[in-house]
């Protein structure tokens, strides 16, 4: 099977065929869910604000890792 070229199709392909990408995506969604919970708080305390900052940084790091995998697959597809 050839590797899809559109962004959405490639991410769907990676969710089905790349365990590392799938694990990163699941963790990314978990962080997104927690950030939504924190954003819903009217008066977050200092710990919650700190947690939000830490989660945002971790979420960004996960996204960078996921994009590296996407880039690697694109490069691989272009080479073939």
CA distance linking residue 48 with residue 42, whole number of Å:
11
| Direct distance between the N- and C-terminal alpha carbons of the chain, in angstroms, rounded to an integer | 12
The per-residue pLDDT for 50 is 98
The per-residue pLDDT for 32 is 98
Output the pTM of the full model: 0.86
In tens digits, what is the pLDDT along the chain, a chain of 80 residues?
Answer: 566 768 899 999 999 999 999 999 999 999 999 999 999 999 999 999 999 999 999 999 999 999 999 999 988 877 76
């Amino acid at each position: 099977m050839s590797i899809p070229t559109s962004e959405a199709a490639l991410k769907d392909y990676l969710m089905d065929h790349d365990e590392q990408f799938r694990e990163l995506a699941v963790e990314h969604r978990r962080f997104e869910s927690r950030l939504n919970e924190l954003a819903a708080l009217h008066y977050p305390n200092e710990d919650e604000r700190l947690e939000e900052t830490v989660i945002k940084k971790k979420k960004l790091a996960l996204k960078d890792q996921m994009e590296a995998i996407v880039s690697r697959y694109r490069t691989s597809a272009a080479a073939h």
